[in-house]
Structure 1
Amino acid sequence: MSTYTPELLRECHRKIHPFIHRTPVLTSHLLNELTGATLFFKCENFQKGGSYKMRGATHAVLLKKEEGDLPGVVTHSSGNFAQALSLAARSLNIPAYIVMPESAPEVKKRAVAQYGGSVFECKPTLEAREAEAARIGKETGAIFIHPSNDPMVMMGQGTAALELFEDVDVLDHIIAPVGGGGLLGGTALATAFFGGDCEAIGAEPLAVDDAYRSLKAGRILGNKKTDTIADGLKTVLGSYTFPVIQKYIRTIVRVDEAEIIQAMHLIWERMKIVVEPSSAVALAAVFKDPDRFKDKRVGIVISGGNVDLTKLPFA
């Protein structure tokens, strides 16, 4: 899928609609007052599987199944895509093999198993994850689906922003967190196609700011360390996601760990909803750059709510 069009994004949404939730858009008067902006939260923490990744996983599995016999799917993921692919595969009666780093939150490992995925643990390195996924694919015939760097996945993730644009008349900005780039890339496409004058903006932990640096350098860069509470954003951009982000994204706001925790605490305390640290990065970006967002209508993609309740940073 080298060409992305409004029609393809609409068709993607039509295909996955029976298998996903149309998640609510919430607002908060208090957070509006604190930020000086009018915020609209697209709550993918209420999505099946607990995150937006159900959208991309479902789209990828559906298209692979349309191509012919599908003996199974395999991926490597720290958690949210693992759960999403397991649930999507179960919905279509297809085996799912999930490679997870040993360091992944236990709550996410349990959820994968509960959704019917077969968990294979490995060392917490990209090389180990890729090697184990390749081994499983060779032994089972399962088709590999990348958690973010896949055009089918990225298009699926873009349907969250598509729904937000349908539900909210006018937005000046829409903010999505960025790790591997599937959500931000999909959000950028939806914004370009359906957002009018809206600008899509990325939000990223300062501790893993590879997307920010890659955009500046004009090529994909990595991270030497991944010490961030936002465990879902430790991955780097890929060959499919980076060109889309490079084309449509001008700004990525970086936030530090304290700012992420503060934003997460505010969402829990004031909105009474469960969100994971990666989700809070987008709100933290509004606080980080108040002049950019003052008096603006801002969409915020709450990416997920799969948090380990035994390890809350503000408990």
Structure 2
Amino acid sequence: MAEKQFTVLDLIDIDLKEHNSLNLHCIGGRRGLSREIVSPDLNRPGLALSGFYDRFANYRIQLFGRGERAYLGKLADEGTDEPIRQMFTYLIPCCIFTHSITPTKAFFEAAEAAECPLLQTDLETSEFASRIMRILSNIFAPRQSVHGVLVEVYGLGILILGDSGVGKSETALELIERGHRLVADDVVEILCVNGNILIGTGANKIIGHHMEIRGLGIINITHLFGVRAIRDQKRIQLVVKLEEWDSKKMYDRLGMEEDFSEFLGVSIPKLEIPVKPGRNIPIIIETAAMNERLKKMGYNSAKEFNQNILKWIESDAARSVYFGQDDII
């Protein structure tokens, strides 16, 4: 379930544009617009209208297309409304009619009596179902908030983590200056979509795309760098943890060891980058982004380097260098 209550009225008022728009409006049952939607799934109530109510998913949004509307017309022609009245004995979040079709008079009156909202859209049933399930999946997706910065570097979503004062925001600011984009600063809200995709966005839309730079204060990235420097959300594909350089710690120098961070049950590749004077962290992150993209394309520089070293050691030339000419019989 969603962390906060999501009602039918919220569904109508949700701000969606272009290919995500649901084109919904209420045509009846307005007294029930405060009903809560508790599931991202839909139900086509054909079986229920025919009188079969075993396992009736009444807690889902009920979707009516041309087939269901034709059956309602058949019931009206037969002069029976018992299946309709029986359906509304269950608590239903709302009923949505696609193709701009309208319910029969008996259905409308039963919905009004039950205070069940009736919604209408001009979209086709398959298209509407695809859109609303995508939207509800995001709304009901498991989520958590982390302290960090999310940036897009060469098309890759990179979550920058680290202790306070280590330089996360300053690193992100330099990446923005170099043409990359900011998604969120300070608090990143992570959503798990489809069970294995992590989407990051700003936790607070009002202060989104602002950054706090110590010694400078709060800056507005949109005003300073333009809309090219921001985006609202991005899939997280790499985690970079910044930490103060520890001379006693052994850092990975070959890249053979793979480390991961886990959020909401999903593992994401992680890099630990030590910070000290003289290290250009933004350039290192840019290189890490390009290297990660190569890995996703099937090319691993560290593994190729290791294989080349092994081939060199096994070669005749390498053995000659290692043993010396006097050792060769």
TM-score normalised to structure 2 length: 0.21
Higher relative contact order structure (alpha carbons within 8 Å, sequence separation ≥ 6): 1
Structure with more strand by fraction: 2
Larger helix proportion of the pair: 1
TM-score under structure 1 length normalisation: 0.22
Larger-gyration structure (1/2) = 2
